[in-house]
Structure 1
């Protein structure tokens, strides 16, 4: 167990899937969790309700990412809401989880598709961090969600993999930049995770094929990733920075 009592966390894209699991886990450890959602207000309300039913504290707000002014808009919404839930402004833990999947080999990717993937997956986290630095307390944590597709060649997701590669380099760079403030910056790279963005997993054969990539012969669950994030958010990880933690269940090790 990692004690995050008295900490405030902000998770982007926290209403569903991996983001929801992260929000729930950080709240379970005592943090006040703010999280964003893109459009599904009902799922956001369900996530808040599930956290509160477990004795935690959370609030959600809508923030569109991948559009001009997205980082400024996100922090304006956070600033407007935090006073209703805490006497202390600012944030201790920032988890850049929100992202979009972009498929296609290089000859199949349009410029518009590429721009959307990079706007959400690479540009938005960059400026969310930049605009948030004055709100992020010394000794804080930044955790960027990357992907296992940066570890092996995956031509079917060329632009997505490239956008996540950008996040990993940003993580490494910021670890040096923010080290003097005691802020750690790390990335977590999941493999295939069973969430509603993968409807194809309803096919037993497709799910078994995905499971075979892991040495454990199963697909990952959102909690598998959330547990790693909780560790990086804790004081136990105070001496870990600039790292990309593989949370893929050993996917691709036998390739």
Structure 2
């Protein structure tokens, strides 16, 4: 008997008809408040990927976290707002207990072969074997669902306000290993802990308000990655008036840029 991977169980949806799907949170991806935001974003994307009207593959995904998703059942609504010859524009919503907890949009497209180049090169990093073992502190349960090996910018061990940079680099893959696809890539774009913790070396409450993921690879390239390692880099550009941005890039182990992402995150003093 084949056991479903914990990630697939977390984003599983049951069709209810007319673009509506039933889902439920799982303890495996619990965060400080509600589930890990990356897995919630992946769930919204999964509704699009399961929709019978789907055209093409994901190009972008934007999710806005309106409220914390509580433990238990929820409903995902996905509709194609417009379908063109080669692109499709989606609107999604996650509803729980009669209220909206997440709004989202996505663009899918029928990709075609064109001239292509990666302008941004992957950072030089020690290999996963050289790092040796997972080293991101598992403050919450969802971190245990990933093998994360930070090579620069680890979570501070002393919260003494001495931080002076916001950049982290790391290796990451599902734990246990799972073949990469659009949903898992969307989730792993969110594995970077809040940049304010590193920049300030002060552990303050923080949470993502909005996140966009741009997919630079199609399903063929993701299949080539398989269960291999991904290389990630994240940094912030400004912290001001209770909000900061967080930008990140994710490459394959071979150095192909798979996705870029940008977030707006709130923090409290």
TM-score when normalising by structure 2: 0.27
Q: Which has the higher helix share?
A: 1
Q: Which has the higher strand share?
A: 2
TM-score when normalising by structure 1: 0.28
Structure number with greater CO (CA < 8 Å, separation at least 6) is: 1
